[in-house]
Amino acid sequence: MNKPTKTIANKTIAVNRKASHEYTLEERYEAGIVLEGWEIKSLRAGKIQIAESYVLLKKGEAWLIGSHISPLLSTSTHVKADPTRTRKLLLHRKELIRLIGLIERRGYTLIPLSLYWNKGKVKLEIGLAKGKKQHDKRASEKERDWQREKQRLFKITKTQTKKVKN
C-alpha cells in the first residue's frame, strides 16, 4: 500500500525581485544548499532575505554570501546562531567548471534568484547574469510600460467591439 506523499502548499521560500531589474539573466542553475537545523526551521517560518546576497566561486566550490536567515526564538541555547554566515552551495563538477570559466573570462556574475522546496530539500536557483547599465534599465522599463499599455488598449478595443455586436 502506497503512502500519500506530503506536499508543501507553497514551495517558494524567498524571491530576489531586484535581480531582473539590476541584471540581464543569461542562464539559470539549481543548487543545493548546506544548512544547519535551526536554519531549516527559520526557512519554514519564512525568515530569510536573499536580496543583497551573491554567489562566490572559490577553490572550485560555490558559496552563498550575504544572505540573512533570522534565528527563531525557540533556537536551542547550546547552538550559536550566526544569521549571516557563508553557506556552501552544491553543484555538479561540470557546472562549476563551466561557471568558473564564464565568470573569469567573460565578466559574468552569479546571483541568487529564488529559494524553494524540492522534494523536501531546500534548493537555490542561481542566475548567470551581467549587470545592466542605467540606459538598459530605462529601456527595459519603457518596454514593460509599453506592454502594459498595449494590453490595456487591447482590452478596451475588445470591450468596444462586444458592445457594437450587441
Cβ contacts of 155 within 8 Å, gap of 6 or more: none
**Least-confidence region, from 4-8, 127-131, 155-159:** 4-8
Contact 136, 35 (CB under 8 A): no
Superfamily of domain 12-132: Small protein B (2.40.280.10)
Domain boundaries, the chain: 12-132, 134-166
Q: What confidence score (pLDDT) does residue 165 get?
A: 64
Question: Above 90 in pLDDT, residue 158?
Answer: no
Distances in Å between the alpha carbon of 134 and those of 18, 22, 90, 113, 148? Answer: 14, 9, 33, 21, 21
Q: What grid cell was written down for 4? A: 500519500
Q: DSSP characters for 110-160?
A: EEEEEEEEETTEEEEEEEEEEEPPHHHHHHHHHHHHHHHHHHHHHHHHHHH
Average pLDDT over residues 72-87: 79
In this prediction the pTM is: 0.70
Contact 100, 44 (CB under 8 A): no
